């Protein structure tokens, strides 16, 4: 199978995800979450980047971010991951892999698709049945957003969120929405309207993210069998 293109481009908004190695839990206590959020804040000082939303879960995290330069996303993530693994091993006296390799990412169209991804990210704790409402999960951008708390870590989205944002996030997403998001996560496929996807994939050489998985179907021969 050909390798999926992984280059990042400045000026686009990305959803970024990474999971604990083998699905293992990474954040065990309050201090673990706080330390990781502090690392994210430190990283934006070393490599400036816009963060529109985030959610830390016990064994994974989601970020919605926009790099200013082409290689900023990779450099920023490398800084965060390297520092976190070092601190994690020092604190817990462990060694080996903490995360399951390189992060996954995909570009988001700046329209209702961005709202869908932000809703998906901030609603994660509700879908996982950890809390009944996203406002009760401390380790995401949602709680501060609805409290109108000016978090220096967060940048304002490129457009206003709906007035009923809390209700919108807490409501279940449709199976189709979840399926399309998971396809983008697994394939690094740009998330947006079909015409926009086609244009972005052509411009950024991401056509491989749109092809189906597996081997192409073999065409039947027009010749009769011997």
**Per-residue pLDDT at 2:** 39
Least confident of 37-51, 86-100, 142-156: 142-156
79 pLDDT higher than 50: yes
Listed residue (77, 52, 70, 64) closest to 181, CA to CA: 64
| Backbone CA torsion sign across 40, 51, 191, 179 | positive
Q: Locate all alpha helices (DSSP H) within the chain, ordered by sequence.
A: 30-46, 72-92, 112-122, 124-127, 141-146, 165-170, 175-187, 194-204
Query: And the tokens for 172?
Result: 């279940």
Task: Give me the pLDDT at residue 213, please.
Answer: 62
User: Is residue 211 very low, low, confident or very high in pLDDT (cuts 50, 70, 90)?
Assistant: confident
- Using a pLDDT cut of 90, give the percent of the chain over it: 79
Q: What is the pTM of this model?
A: 0.89
Residue 73 CB coordination number (10 Å): 25
Predicted local distance difference test score (pLDDT) of residue 214: 54
* pLDDT at position 197 over 50: yes
Domains of the chain, start order: 13-208 (3.30.70.1290)
Q: Is the pLDDT of residue 143 over 60?
A: yes
In this structure, of 21-35, 53-67, 136-150, the range with the lowest mean pLDDT score is: 136-150
Q: What is the pLDDT of residue 101?
A: 83
DSSP string, 14-38: EEEEEEBGGG-----SHHHHHHHHH
Determine the pLDDT at residue 222. Answer: 39
Average pLDDT over every residue of 51-62: 97
Q: Are 209 and 201 in contact (CB under 8 A)?
A: yes
Reading the block at residue 173, the tokens are 């997403």
Asked if residues 118 and 166 have their Cβ atoms less than 8 Å apart, the reply is no
pLDDT at residue 96 in the model:
92
DSSP-derived secondary structure for 127-158: HTTS-SSGGG-SSBHHHHHHTT---TTPPPPS
């Amino acid at each position: 199978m050909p390798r999926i293109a992984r280059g990042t481009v400045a000026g686009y908004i990305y959803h970024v995800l990474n999971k604990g190695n083998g699905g293992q839990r990474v954040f065990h206590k309050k201090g673990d979450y706080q330390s990781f959020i502090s690392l994210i804040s430190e990283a934006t000082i070393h490599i400036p980047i816009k963060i529109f939303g985030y959610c830390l879960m016990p064994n994974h995290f989601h970020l919605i971010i926009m790099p200013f330069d082409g290689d900023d996303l990779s450099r920023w993530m490398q800084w965060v991951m390297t520092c976190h693994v070092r601190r994690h091993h020092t604190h817990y006296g462990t060694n080996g892999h903490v995360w399951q390799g390189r992060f996954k990412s995909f570009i988001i169209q700046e329209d209702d698709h961005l709202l869908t991804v932000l809703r998906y990210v901030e609603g994660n704790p509700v879908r996982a049945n950890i809390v009944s409402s996203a406002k009760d999960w401390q380790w995401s951008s949602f709680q501060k957003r609805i409290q109108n708390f000016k978090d220096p870590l967060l940048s304002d989205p490129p457009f206003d969120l709906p007035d009923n944002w809390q209700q919108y996030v807490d409501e279940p997403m449709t199976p189709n929405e979840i399926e399309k998001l998971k396809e983008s996560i697994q394939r690094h496929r740009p998330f947006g309207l079909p015409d926009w996807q086609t244009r972005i994939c052509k411009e950024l050489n991401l056509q491989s993210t749109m092809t189906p998985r597996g081997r192409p179907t073999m065409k039947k021969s027009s010749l009769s069998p011997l």
